[in-house]
């Protein structure tokens, strides 16, 4: 029995697809299932039971003896939400309770952290746990993820195996429901479909050209591969970066999306909105040395490979993973 929280969401549903592909079909899907836009993410998945998020702990108390592994992917991820109380409940307090139950019932745990914890990158992008208390996230979402990371590291009692994953800019199938929080690739595809053009933010930093701002974009299929590696590995507990390890420009992203759609690039540059200009990240890149050092050897999709697969096999077809 494998539990996946956030099961109906983007990464959670892709993880269940991967588990099913590896013949793990005794899946317990935990989420708030009230959003009908997420329903298709779980269609055709092998799931043993659906458990509502607020009923999960009573369910776990009754069924813990059958649980082999817990993936805690569920979280409030809206970076435009500024009421910290929302994140305190869903991202911090709920995660602490999962941690404590995993200790009590001897359940190994992988949970979702975020590269949003790194803020503007003043301390770099190395998953060095000694630096985590010094990080300066830019929004309440990032603060909540960092708060839990700091708390987890400070605990004397820990699950016998645990890993926190700092997801960088994840993109890929099953993010149809995410609206403005969907990946840049998702929005690029729809913008190009409607207008034959794409808008990118102009650079307001003399060190970067227009469209030369850089991010570490990581394909969701690589993310779930790492999750399964950790499920099988079950040693070397700690907090790990999970990006591609390679920063790419937004211009690269735009050109790759046009190419995957077999269209000529038509790109317009617009000013970055003033309200986010001072907190705009011009560069992120995950140092992936730590994950590699514990034996993860699979190559990550290049941006071109990931976008081509995503656009041609999912977005163009309205298909799900």
Q: Which of the residues 94, 111, 118, 141 is marked catalytic?
A: 141
- Here the tokens at position 236 are 């070397």
Handedness of CA 143, 77, 71, 92 (dihedral sign): positive
38 belongs to an annotated ligand binding site: yes
204 belongs to an annotated ligand binding site: yes
CA-to-CA dists, residue 50 to 3, 39, 155, angstroms: 10, 12, 31
Q: Which of the residues 178, 283, 296, 320 is marked catalytic?
A: 178
Q: What is the phi/psi pair of residue 127, to 5°?
A: -85, 50
Q: What are the DSSP E strand ranges found in 85-161?
A: 109-114
27 belongs to an annotated ligand binding site: no
11 belongs to an annotated ligand binding site: yes
Beta bridge partners of 165: 112, 240
74 belongs to an annotated ligand binding site: yes
Is-catalytic flag, 97? no
203 belongs to an annotated ligand binding site: yes
CA neighbours within 13 Å on the CB side: how many for 62?
A: 6
What is the separation of C-alpha 254 from the centre of its chain, rounded to a whole number of angstroms?
21
CA atoms of 208 and 201, how far apart (whole Å)? 11
235 belongs to an annotated ligand binding site: no
157 belongs to an annotated ligand binding site: no
186 belongs to an annotated ligand binding site: no
Concatenating the DSSP letter of every residue in 250-263 gives HHHHHHHHHHHTT-
- Residue 301 three-state SS: coil
Q: What angle do CA 117, 213, 168 make, to 5 degrees?
A: 30
201 belongs to an annotated ligand binding site: yes
- Here the tokens at position 221 are 């299929």
178 belongs to an annotated ligand binding site: yes
Concatenating the DSSP letter of every residue in 147-166 gives HHHHHHHH-SS--SSEEEEE
202 belongs to an annotated ligand binding site: yes
Is-catalytic flag, 178? yes
- Here the tokens at position 15 are 């993880």
75 belongs to an annotated ligand binding site: yes
- Here the tokens at position 24 are 């793990």
Strands 214-215 and 248-249 come out as: antiparallel
234 belongs to an annotated ligand binding site: no
239 belongs to an annotated ligand binding site: no
194 belongs to an annotated ligand binding site: no
Number of helices (H), then strands (E), in the chain: 12, 13
Spell out the residues 6+ positions from residue 144 whose beta carbon is closer than 8 angstroms to its own. Answer: 76, 84, 87, 88, 91, 92
10 belongs to an annotated ligand binding site: yes
Binding-site residues from annotation for NADP(+): 10-11, 31-32, 38, 53, 73-77, 145, 170, 178
Annotated binding site: 10-11, 31-32, 38, 53, 73-77, 145, 169-170, 178, 180, 187, 201-204, 215, 280
Q: Binding site for substrate: what residues are annotated? A: 169, 180, 187, 201-204, 215, 280
Annotated catalytic sites, by residue? 141, 178
């Amino acid at each position: 029995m494998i539990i996946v929280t956030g099961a109906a969401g983007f990464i959670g549903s892709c993880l269940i697809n991967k588990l099913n592909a590896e013949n793990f079909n005794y899946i317990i899907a935990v989420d708030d299932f009230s959003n009908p836009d997420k329903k298709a993410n779980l269609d055709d998945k092998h799931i043993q039971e659906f458990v509502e998020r607020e009923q999960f702990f009573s369910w776990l108390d009754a069924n813990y003896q059958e649980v082999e592994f817990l993936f805690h992917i569920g979280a409030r991820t809206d970076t435009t939400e500024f009421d910290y109380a929302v994140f305190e409940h869903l991202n911090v307090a709920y995660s602490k309770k999962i941690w404590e139950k995993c200790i009590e019932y001897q359940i190994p745990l992988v949970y979702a952290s975020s590269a949003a914890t790194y803020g503007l990158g003043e301390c770099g992008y190395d998953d060095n746990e000694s630096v985590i208390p010094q990080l300066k996230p830019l929004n309440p979402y990032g603060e909540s993820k960092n708060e839990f990371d700091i708390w987890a590291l400070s605990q004397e009692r820990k699950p016998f195996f645990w890993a926190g994953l700092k997801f960088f800019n994840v993109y890929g199938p099953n993010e149809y429901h995410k609206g403005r929080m969907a990946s840049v690739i998702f929005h690029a595809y729809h913008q190009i479909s409607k207008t034959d053009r794409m808008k990118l933010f102009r650079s307001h930093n003399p060190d970067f050209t227009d469209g030369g701002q850089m991010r570490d974009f990581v394909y969701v299929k690589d993310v779930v591969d790492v999750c399964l590696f950790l499920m099988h590995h079950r040693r070397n507990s700690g907090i790990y970066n999970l990006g591609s390890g390679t920063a790419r420009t937004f211009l690269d992203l735009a050109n790759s999306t046009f190419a995957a759609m077999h269209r000529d690039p038509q790109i317009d540059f617009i000013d970055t909105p003033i309200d986010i200009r001072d907190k705009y990240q011009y560069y992120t890149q995950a140092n992936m040395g730590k994950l590699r050092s514990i034996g993860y050897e699979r190559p990550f999709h290049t941006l071109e490979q990931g976008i081509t697969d995503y656009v041609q096999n999912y977005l163009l077809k309205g298909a799900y993973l």
